[in-house]
Structure formats: C-alpha cells, structure tokens
Structure 1
Amino acid sequence: MLYLWTKALHIVFIASWFAGLFYLPRIFVNLAQETNPEATARLLGMARRLYRFSMIISVPAVLLGLYLWMGFGIQGGWLHAKLALVLVTIGYHHMCGAILKKFERGVNTRSHTWYRWFNEVPVVLLLAIVVLVVVKPF
C-alpha cells in the first residue's frame, strides 16, 4: 500500500513539475518578443514565481522517485535510461534558471524562435520517460 501511495504522489509532483517546465519557456518566447518595459516586468515576475514554484515542486518529485527506486528495489535497464533522462530534465530546469537570469539582466541574445524550439524539449523528455516507465523496453 505504501508503494502505491508513494507512486501516486510521485506522479502528481512530476506532473506539476513538468507543467512548470512546459510554461516557463513559453514565457521566454513572450519575453524575447516583448518591447514594452511594463509588460517585460510583468512577464519577468511571472517567470520568477513559476521558476521558484517549479524548483520547489521538483524536490519532492525527485525524492519520491529516489525512494521508489531504493526503498522498493526497482531495477532494470529501462531505469538507468530513465534516471539519465531525469538528470537531463534537472539540467534543463537549471538552464531555464540561467536563461531567466539573462532576461533579468537584459542580456538575452536568442530569438523567440529559438525559445519555441527550446520549449519542446520537456515534451520529448516526458514522452521518453513515460514510455520507459510504462513499456520497460529493456
């Protein structure tokens, strides 16, 4: 029973974390296009709050995942691939933080098109992670 509750909470926290990772780069798209200083300030405030929320929500997501892995002895080749993708996701999240700092300093050098493509990365990561967990191909 503990395993099922842990897994359920892990899924909820992962979904919340990825919701932030889906929306934050979309704010970057808008920031890259924005010329109005008031709108830029509003978007930066939104991005800061979302980044902070996503960072907070990622902690229980990762901790619950570690508990599932180590506490219940989950294993397999698929798990190694999933863990590698989780590390990529954490790196992506930190990259979002670095990008946000550049926007805050007013030194963004990338176009809104670049951010549109950057916005697709968490979709691919989530898809790959879910397939690995559900299908367990190896």
Structure 2
Amino acid sequence: MLWIKAFHVIFMVCWFAGIFYLPRLFVNHAMATDTTVRDQLALMERKLYRFITPFMVLTIGLGLWLASYNWSYFFNSGWFITKICLVFLLVIYHFYCGRCIERLDSGEDQRGHVFYRVFNELPVLILFAVVILVVVRPF
C-alpha cells in the first residue's frame, strides 16, 4: 500500500507541475503578437497537455486504488468527500485547459493575459486545500 501511495503522490506532483505551467504558457500566448512565437507556444501547449494527461489518469487511478482498501472509512469522511470534489474541479480545470489550447491555437480566444494570470492561480488554491484536507483532516 505504501508503494501505491508513493506513486500516487509522485504522479500528483507531476500533474500539478504541468497544470501550473500550462496556463503560464497561455499568458505568454495571449501576449504574443508574432505569429512564429504564437505557433511555438501552441506547439508547447499541446505537447505539455498530452504529457500531463496520463499523470492525471494515474493520480486518480492510484487514489481510487488506495481508497478501495477502506471504502467505508473514506466515503464517510467529510475531508475525503471534500477532497474528491476538489479533484473533480481540478479535472474540469484540466479539460478546460485543453479547450483553451484549441481556442488559442485557432485564434478564437480573445481573452487577455490578465484573465490567464488569474486562471493560473486556481490550481494553487486547490492544491493548498487538498493538502490541508489530507494532512489535517479537519472534518
């Protein structure tokens, strides 16, 4: 079980590293005026998204595997239910990033860099909340 937990944390860290960097690329993409730079950023965004998506799947899969050792405890714990809800929001955020990549690449997205700077902070808040829930277990 400890090996599963270790890999769950490793894949979570990898996923978050990418989910922190991807919107930063969006900021640069929204600010870029040169077509060559925009094309390069679009390529980087697509490659990073494809790279981190398996980390998301592995994080969730291993997390469910860990929870399966004691379903009754975890699904009766307020902290765990809250954590699952936050992970669900992060998955939505992840897929929304995929949509942003498509829109930026096609030129449909007219949002400015300020939007993406704020958007970039959302996973940080989720990470803080999830770590506090797992370590402190306040409920």
**TM class by shorter-chain length?**
over 0.9
Provide the identity percentage.
Answer: 44
Residues 1:113 and 2:114 aligned together: yes
2:39 partner letter:
A
1:135 equivalent in alignment to 2:133: no
Normalising to structure 1: TM-score of the pair?
0.96
1:70-114 CA distance string (max 9 Å, x none): 134451110000000000000000110011110111111111001
Specify the alignment match of 2:30 in structure 1: 32
Cα distance, 1:63 vs structure 2: 0.1
**Separation in structure 1 between the aligned mates of residue 134 and residue 36 of structure 2, nearest angstrom:** 44
The alignment status of 1:84 with 2:85, answered yes or no, reads yes
Alignment of 1:3-14 (within 5 A): 3-14=1-12
Unaligned residue ranges in structure 1 (runs of 5+) = none
Q: How many Å separate the matches in 1 of 2:7 and 2:23?
A: 25
Question: How many angstroms apart in 1 are the aligned matches of 2:106 and 2:38?
Answer: 12
1:36 and 1:56 map into 2 onto residues whose CA distance is: 32
Counterparts of residues 36-115 of structure 1 (less than 5 Å): 36-73=34-71, 74-75=73-74, 76-115=77-116
Task: Output the amino acid matched with 2:82.
Answer: A
Cα RMSD (Å) of the superposition?
Answer: 0.9
Q: Which amino acid aligns with 1:106?
A: G
- For residues 42-71 of structure 1, what are the alpha-carbon distances to aligned partners after superposition, in whole Å with 9 as ceiling and x for unaligned? 111100000111111111111000001113
Distance (whole Å) between structure 2 residues aligned to residue 67 and residue 56 of structure 1: 16
Which sections of structure 2, spanning at least 5 residues, go unmatched? none
